[in-house]
Amino acid sequence: MKQSSGRDFFALLALCVIGALLGRMQSTARAAGRIDPLTTAIRATINPAASALVQGSNSTSDFFSGLFNASDLKAQNRALKQLEIVARQYAETVDRLNREIASMRAIDELPVLPGRDKVMATVIGYFPDENRITISLSKTDGIKPGQAVVTGEGLVGTIQTIGRNEAQVSLLSDPNRKLGALVISRNPPSPGIIKGENASILVLTLDASLPVENGDLVSTWGFSGLIPRGVPIGRVSQIYTDRTTGSKRVEVFPNVSMGNVREVVVLK
Amino acid sequence: MSGAKGIIFAAVIIWIAAVLEQSISPKMSIFGAQPDFLLIVLACLCMFASRIGGAMLGFFTGLAAGSITGANLSQFIFSRTITGFADAWSRTMGLDSNIVTAAINAAVVTIASQLILMFFAPPAGIAMFVGATIGSAMVNGVLAMPVHALLRRILAP
């Protein structure tokens, strides 16, 4: 019995010594920035099963949670969908306002034209079929028919009629109205006559001998005195040469997209 | 519990306890008290083991616990080996092996091993550590009852 007791204590001591050695091995490995091989081996046997068990318990927990909280989850889902719609609307509003701010900045940064005053106006009506917009200016603002209406991007059209509380503007896209225009990217600029064809294309007629290329900037001629020279109109997108008439038909993509215009300036 | 069969059985039980300790234990917190599955199986297996067997069980549960937590291996091995040895020795006191003694045994083993661990590696907040140990001892005591019943069914002659 006494011998057995001594053997047991010796075994206990031996296990404690082994434990101390393992602890020392672990500390040495840690000092070298590693994990000791025994810990690695033990974790390798335990971790896969533990991970599987965690996943299983999570799935089970989620399943029962879903089962017992189905109505709450449904309500939360509905609320989240509503929030998503509101967030999307908010983002759209922010985008629209940013575009408006950019447009206002462009108007504000319009170069000062000698002898011309800038009169701000709000677009209060847009009639694409009639190639016309209505703006918030009247006779008392000192504007006259034929004066240029612009935004930061370029020419919108010209004042057509002036009423008591509003003015009608004939848009560039109006096929019944012609304007003098210049391809100012060329030196010397190539002069021609521009008129509307549809809402997105203007047609510039040039002499066949005058140089023009796709992407060239077209601006106002300034010949009439009412519209100043150099106000951008658009960029050349297609060129056709008509040999029978000896002229070039140049399609111009307008700088100003009318659907987005909220504020304009009249150059009086 | 002896021989190769007993060793393999003990190894499997310790492995299962280690897996549960790693995966389930953190989720089973009751009023902040977490079960320690390795101490539960140590306490339950020691009721069927000799003193050397208890020490060996303590050694391997300490090794597993230290490896899982990433703490100092020697501190966990010392605390569990000494507790296992003492717990297996306590069988000579002639206590009945039933689920009530298993529960009390698990609680005592938990407190004893954690106090020895505290001696080797003093924690920052001793009061909190002691509180958590007492809570853990109670949870372990409760969980030890079914574990003991299962082990007795398998290991009893």
Q: Lowest-confidence range among A81-90, B9-18, B19-28?
A: B19-28
Q: Tell me the nearest-neighbour CA distance from A59 into chain B, angstroms.
A: 13
Provide mean pLDDT across the span A201-213.
89
Note the pLDDT tens digit of each residue in A41-89.
999 999 999 999 999 988 988 898 888 888 999 999 999 999 999 999 9
Q: What is the pLDDT of residue A112?
A: 66
Contact present, A149 and A166 (Cβ < 8 Å): no
Q: What is the pLDDT of residue B62?
A: 94
Provide mean pLDDT across the span B17-35.
87
Which chain A residues are Cβ-neighbours of B15 within 8 angstroms? 45-46
Whether residue A26 and residue B15 make contact (CB cut-off 8 A), yes or no, is: no
Which chain B residues are Cβ-neighbours of A26 within 8 angstroms? 66, 72-74
Provide mean pLDDT across the span B53-69.
93
| Least CB–CB distance from B52: residue in A8, A23, A54 | A8
Whether residue B73 and residue A19 make contact (CB cut-off 8 A), yes or no, is: yes
Q: What is the pLDDT of residue A129?
A: 84
A87 touches chain B (CB under 8 A): no
A38 touches chain B (CB under 8 A): yes
| Least CB–CB distance from A11: residue in B52, B63, B75 | B52
ipTM score for this prediction: 0.86
Confidence of residue B92 (pLDDT cuts 50, 70, 90): confident
Q: What is the pLDDT of residue B153?
A: 87
| Least CB–CB distance from B85: residue in A12, A26, A42 | A12
Query: Is pLDDT above 80 for B93?
Result: no
Provide mean pLDDT across the span B7-16.
92
Q: Chain A 184-243, CB below 8 Å of chain B: which residues?
A: none
Provide mean pLDDT across the span A218-223.
87
Note the pLDDT tens digit of each residue in A125-173.
888 888 899 999 888 888 889 899 998 888 999 999 998 889 999 998 8
Q: What is the pLDDT of residue A76?
A: 93
| Least CB–CB distance from A57: residue in B27, B68, B73 | B27
**Percent of chain A residues topping a pLDDT of 70:** 97
